[in-house]
Amino acid sequence: MIEAVNLTKRFDDIVAVDNINAQIRDGNVFGLIGTNGAGKSTFLRMAAGILKPDGGTITIDGTEVFENEEAKRRFFYISDDQYFFSNSTPRDMMAYYRIVYPSFDKERFHGLMRSFDLDEGRKINTFSKGMKKQVSVICGVCARTDYLFCDETFDGLDPVMRQAVKSIFANDMQERNLTPIIASHNLRELEDICDHVGLLHKGGILLSRDLDEMKMNIHKVQCVLAEGMEPEELAGMEIIKTEKRGRLLTLTVRGDLSQVEHGMQTANPVFYETIPLSLEEIFISETEVVGYDIKKLIF
């Protein structure tokens, strides 16, 4: 497990990461969401031991990462601004990573390079941005580390490649309990892969939630109530948002689904149905409650 306790990092007068507390459980996909400048990359660089915290700690299974060679062998870091050796080829990078990561899977590397139609002998500096990201991902999963830190990894990949990378992550999670930590400015990119999402804003975590828990606790209801009845009259329902088009109401309701359905049935409406919320809709609802407009923060 990765744990951050009161984690803080400053650059002169700028507080890039501000007193963050977070736990990242093994075998889950942790999505770190936030705009540019929110502190995502700084958090990952401290998790990777590249930057030393100015306050607090970040540990892997209780062991601090900074200047700890053994701890660093447990993760692979794919930065947004990727680095490869000058004039190197993917084959050269594989040779290097085999020294750093003793369990590096050479055969899988060759297989994935063929699957992605990438030339192992071509100089990486001639690759497109998307091709470089693919090489980084292939090296990352073939390193067979416990954790994979991904900073805007899906940025620059076309939709087909994004799904291919997500499938590789899912396969490694199932086979060897890989834990990907994915930082992105785009909430929609992570909706179908993350188990837990943290919303980072101005260096601090605004919200941190398990997606299953969030989806079970908030619902969208479309309904037409009996003539003259108002949403406020629905018994035992915590309505956090109401939209109205003619007689059709769209309610965002917090609570257990069975309680929500019981409340609707008791009201004897003309019509009602419950509809699953997207991750975007859930976060919009949650952040509005605490006084933020996520649409201004993320989208």
Structure tokens at 104: 């590096």
pLDDT tens digits, 125-145: 999 999 999 999 999 999 999
Query: What single-letter amino acid sits at 89?
Result: T
Mean pLDDT lowest among 2-11, 80-89, 163-172, 191-200 = 191-200
**Dihedral class, residue 203 (left if φ above 0, else alpha if ψ from -120 to 50, else beta):** left
Identify the pLDDT of residue 183: 92
Place of tokens 């501000």: 18
Q: DSSP assignment, residue 184?
A: E
Identify the pLDDT of residue 49: 94
pLDDT tens digits, 141-167: 999 999 999 998 888 788 899 999 999
Task: Give the CB-side neighbour count of residue 197, counting CA atoms within 13 A.
Answer: 24
> For the whole model, what pTM was predicted?
0.81
Identify the pLDDT of residue 257: 87
Buried b (16+ CB within 10 A) or exposed e, 181-196: bbbbbebebbbebbbb
Domains for the chain: give ranges and CATH numbers: 2-202 (3.40.50.300), 213-297 (3.30.70)
Identify the pLDDT of residue 37: 81
Residue 232 CB partners (closer than 8 Å, separation 6+): 239
Which 3 state secondary structure label does DSSP give 35?
coil
Which 3 state secondary structure label does DSSP give 205?
strand
Rg (C-alpha) for the chain, rounded Å, is 23
Give me the helix-helix angle, 90-100 and 106-115, nearest 10°.
150
pLDDT band at 299 (very low <50, low <70, confident <90, very high): very low
Average of per-residue pLDDT across 237-251: 90
As a whole number, the mean pLDDT across the chain is 89
As a whole number of angstroms, the distance between CA 135 and CA 116 comes to: 9
Identify the pLDDT of residue 190: 81
As a whole number of angstroms, the distance between CA 169 and CA 166 comes to: 5
Q: Where are the beta strands (DSSP E) in 74-203?
A: 75-78, 147-151, 179-184, 196-201
What's the helix, strand, coil split of the chain in %, to 5?
Answer: 35, 30, 35
Buried b (16+ CB within 10 A) or exposed e, 145-156: bbbbbbbbbbeb
As a whole number of angstroms, the distance between CA 89 and CA 99 comes to: 16
CA dihedral sign of residues 144, 146, 152, 158: positive
Show the CA angle centred on residue 65, arms to residues 60 and 71, nearest 5°: 70
Q: Where are the beta strands (DSSP E) in 108-237?
A: 147-151, 179-184, 196-201, 204-210, 218-224
